[in-house]
Structures are given as C-alpha cells and as structure tokens.
Amino acid sequence: MTSPRPAVVYNPSKISRDGLCDAFDRVDPDACAAARWYETTVEDPGRGPARDALDAGADLVIVAGGDGTVRAVAEVLAGTGIPLGIVPQGTGNLLARNLGVPIADVDAAIARALEAGDRRIDIGWIDIDGDDEDKRAFAVMVGFGLDARMLVETDEDLKDKAGWLAYVEALGRAVSASEVVAFDLALDDGDPERVEGHTLMIGNCGTIQGGVALLPDAAVDDGRLDLLLVSADTVTGWLDTVRSFVWDNGVRRFFVKESDTVDSDTAQHRSATRMRVELPEPLPFEIDGEEVGDVQAFTVRVDAGALIVR
C-alpha cells in the first residue's frame, strides 16, 4: 500500500512540530518522511495553510489544533474530495468527539488519520448579514445567547489551565447576562415565525464535553441541521431545562433505544436543511466555539456529504 502524501496543518500554540514529528515517527516513519508541514498563525488559523497544502498536491490533510483550526481547514477541504484527519489539541474538540477520534492520545489520532477509511459528513454554511466575510463553514454548531455569552465571559487564563471546566466558572455570569428576546425564525421554505429565547444553537452534531447531548437527534451525515432554543429565565425553568438535557434526552434515551427527543417548556428542538434568523438587535455569536462578534441576522444551510473525514 502506497503511503499517503499527508500535509500537516498545526497550531503551534497547541502542539509543537517536534512533538508531532515524534508521534508520526512512532506511527509511520514513511508517512512522516513524506509529510509537508504548515503552521497556522493568529491572523490565519488554517485556511491559508490548507490552500497551500492542496496546491502542493496533498492527498490527505491532517489538522492538529482546536475546533477553530479544524473548522478553518474543513472550510477549504469541503467539496475537494481530499480527506481530513484530526489530531485533537483544543479545549472542546467537539467534532473529534462526535466522530470518535481519540482525544488524549496523539499517536492513536495520527494512526486513525493515516489508516482509517474515508467517511463523508455534512458541513453547515452560514451567511452573516452585513459582514464582508459573510460565508463561513461550520462543522459543529453556531449560535447566540448563553453558549456564545459563555465564550465571551470565559477567562482565557483559566481556560488554559482548566480546559473546558473554565466554562463552568463563566456560567453564572453568562446566565445573568442572558435575556429572553423575541425574534423571527424561518425553517426551509416556511414563513418566519416569532419565537422567544435567550439561547439558540444550530448544529451539525450535538454532543459536547461530558457526553451531554444538546442536540440528541443531530448526526453528521443525515443531511440536516438541528436546532435548540432555550428560554429558561428562572430557577424552576433552568431545572426543567437541565432535566430535559440530562434525563429525558440523555439517560432515558440511552436505556430506551430509538426514543424520541423530548421538548420541554424551556427547551425546544427542531431540524431543517435551511434556517433564517432575524434578531431585534445584535447579540454575541459563536461559530464552532470561536466568538465572532455581534450578529443580528443570519442564514444557515447544510451541505450534505461535502467533507470527507478519516
């Protein structure tokens, strides 16, 4: 079997080239010798390096970094037929988690990237109104409200030291800063409807850290996007929301196979191939775990089977 010509796009703030080289040598010295290396920067988290890798003839692109780096590389690889391998090195590593990629073992992740079969998955595209860079891909989820507010409110130093647990520290401040708003939501070709909530998440996959399924019906290859709308604004409402996440759509679904997703008064789930959102005012917004500023109106759509992953 001919060794692939892998390109390695890596975030040097997450893992060193020397560390990756050592791991490659342990897994496949031939692939290591054939690899070309591309370093991301703060200004370019992965799109430029990924394009350079394709121009150089790579037949496999392995990305070592967090969800933001993975998203940037996936955006370039979508529709090219060149597979993406992931060496998770971030805080959330959400796409890797949803694909079953080893999280804490660099050697195992590299072996998966080099040796596993190809799988086609969906990606989402988001058009943000009023933004010159208005078309961006996402592999995991986008949203506003509590999810995005937690990213804004999370202390970066604590995040570096404590990983995803740093988000818990930010939760209290995020809850107090999140207010229920009324906004317009249109699914597929339907007319806009007025809904209320302080948090909206739209995802290609829905399991986050700790195995919590925020979007229990979401699948990376079903040709649809899933939506979660949260409107809890009291202690009782938050208890209802937590019960929905942990029990109704967590423990119960684990033991009762093929059970339907359960909505509550404060947590609603929907799905579509295209969604349009118009807010009354701009709110903090995130794309695959990266805070991107305030957004007032946006459209998301699914691109079915556009990305090949290992």
Statement: residue 253 has pLDDT above 90: no
Q: Using the predicted structure, report yes or no on whether residue 55 has a pLDDT greater than 60.
A: yes
State whether 192 and 281 are in the same domain: yes
Neighbours of 202 (CB within 10 A): 26
Q: pLDDT value at position 26?
A: 95
Q: Are 61 and 171 contained in the same domain?
A: no
pLDDT confidence bin for 67, thresholds 50/70/90: very high
Quote the pLDDT of residue 267: 81
Same domain, residue pair 129 and 264: yes
CATH code at 152? 2.60.200.40
Q: Which two tokens stand for residue 190?
A: 């339907």
Look at residue 1 and tell me if it is in a domain.
no
Tell whether 309 is covered by a domain: no
Structural domain total, the chain:
2
89 is a domain residue: yes
Quick: pLDDT tens for 279-292.
999 998 999 988 88
Q: Quick check: is 186 in a domain?
A: yes
Do 171 and 71 fall within a single domain?
no
Q: Tell me: do 113 and 129 sit in the same domain.
A: no
Residue at a domain's end among 53, 86, 117:
117
Residues 168 and 207 in one domain: yes
Are 185 and 269 a contacting pair, CB within 8 Å? no
Same domain, 113 and 202: no
Shared domain for 192 and 102, answered yes or no, is no
Q: Which of 117, 136, 164 is the endpoint of a domain?
A: 117
Q: Residue 46 belongs to a domain with what CATH number? A: 3.40.50.10330
Residue 87 domain-assigned? yes
- Does residue 159 sit in the same domain as residue 291? yes
Last residue in a domain, options 87, 117, 147: 117
As a three-state string, the secondary structure of the chain is CCCCCEEEEECCCCCCHHHHHHHHHHHCHHHHHHCEEEECCCCCCCHHHHHHHHHCCCCEEEEEECHHHHHHHHHHHCCCCCCEEEEECCCCCHHHHHHCCCCCCHHHHHHHHHHCCCEEEEEEEEEECCCCCCEEEECCEEEECHHHHHHHHCCHHHHHHHHHHHHHHHHHHHHHHCCCEEEEEEECCCCCEEEEECEEEEECCCECHHHCECCCCCCCCCCCEEEEEECCCCHHHHHHHHHHHHHHHHHHHHHCCCCCCCCCCCEEEEEECEEEEEEEEEEEEEECCEEEEEEEEEEEEEEEEEEEEC
Q: Are residues 158 and 249 in the same domain?
A: yes
Return d(Cα 58, Cα 53) in angstroms, integer.
6
Residue 39 covered by a domain? yes
- Residue 272, domain member (yes or no): yes
Does 205 lie in the same domain as 131?
yes
Q: What is the pTM of this model?
A: 0.84
In a domain, 274, yes or no: yes
Percent of the chain with pLDDT over 70: 75
Q: Give the pLDDT confidence score for residue 257 in this predicted structure.
A: 54
> What is the longest distance spanned by two Cα atoms in the chain?
60
pLDDT in tens, 15-41: 999 999 999 999 998 888 889 999 999
Are 129 and 80 part of one and the same domain? Answer: no
Domain with 67, as residue range(s), is: 6-117
